[in-house]
Amino acid sequence: MEIMREFLGKVRLYLQITHIGGIVRRYFVMNGFDGSMTALGVILGAWIVGVENPNIVVMTGLGACLALGVSGFFGAYITEKAERRRHLKNLEDAILTNLEDSLHKDATTFAPAFASLINGLSPVLMAITSLSPFLLAMAGLVPIWTSYTASLALTLATLFMLGVYLGRVAQENVLLYGIQMLTAGVVIAVIVFILGGA
């Protein structure tokens, strides 16, 4: 327990030093949104064409979101690493000191790894949430058509909660932010159903 407390304290300190908290929040929401919307597109597409095998829906949705996650992880890591190294070099130039064995160097190393982990995991976690009713269908616990409606409801609820979270971050109307995110999901659903019926 003490080791965990020390680790979390160190993480908080690194976040303060690097000021990466806002960036990580944006990564979480943006890629979480992408994961939810990707899963929504897969689920609605499968529903429209009448896919009755839940394995197909789960593997297609997870495959797409894992690709988003891996891409997000490596893209964020390389980008953040470059930005953090530049910042550290600028700081060293400003104070005329080598910071190689310093707390700032440790924080600079930690920040890209932490940001990329959040960036990579968020679409996968959101997709698993959306696809969870199909996992129940794979186990034979619910009919596939129940999974479609439950998954649609879960995905829209996830989008709404992402909006609520953004509203709290902005310290503004959480309901308005939630409705905005939910609207994006509804618009995609309508477009997919229109295209599916065309």
d(CA 42, CA 39): 5
Q: Which pLDDT tens digit goes with each residue over 41-99?
A: 999 999 999 999 999 999 999 999 999 999 999 999 999 999 989 988 988 888 888 88
pLDDT score for 197: 62
**pLDDT greater than 80 at residue 180:** yes
pLDDT score for 35: 93
Global confidence as pTM: 0.86
Report percent pLDDT > 90 for the chain: 67
Instruction: Let me know the angle formed at the C-alpha of 187 by 181 and 191, rounded to the nearest 5 degrees.
Output: 150
**pLDDT greater than 60 at residue 198:** no
pLDDT score for 147: 96
Determine whether 9 is exposed, middle or buried from the number of CB atoms within 10 Å of its CB (0-12, 13-18, 19+): exposed
The one-letter amino acid code at 38 reads: T
**pLDDT greater than 80 at residue 196:** no
pLDDT score for 182: 93
d(CA 185, CA 152): 10
CA distances (Å), origin 14, targets 55, 93, 99, 128, 197? 42, 21, 15, 30, 52
Average pLDDT over residues 8-15: 88
**pLDDT greater than 60 at residue 25:** yes
User: In which element (H, E) is residue 1 found?
Assistant: none
**pLDDT greater than 60 at residue 165:** yes
d(CA 182, CA 47): 20
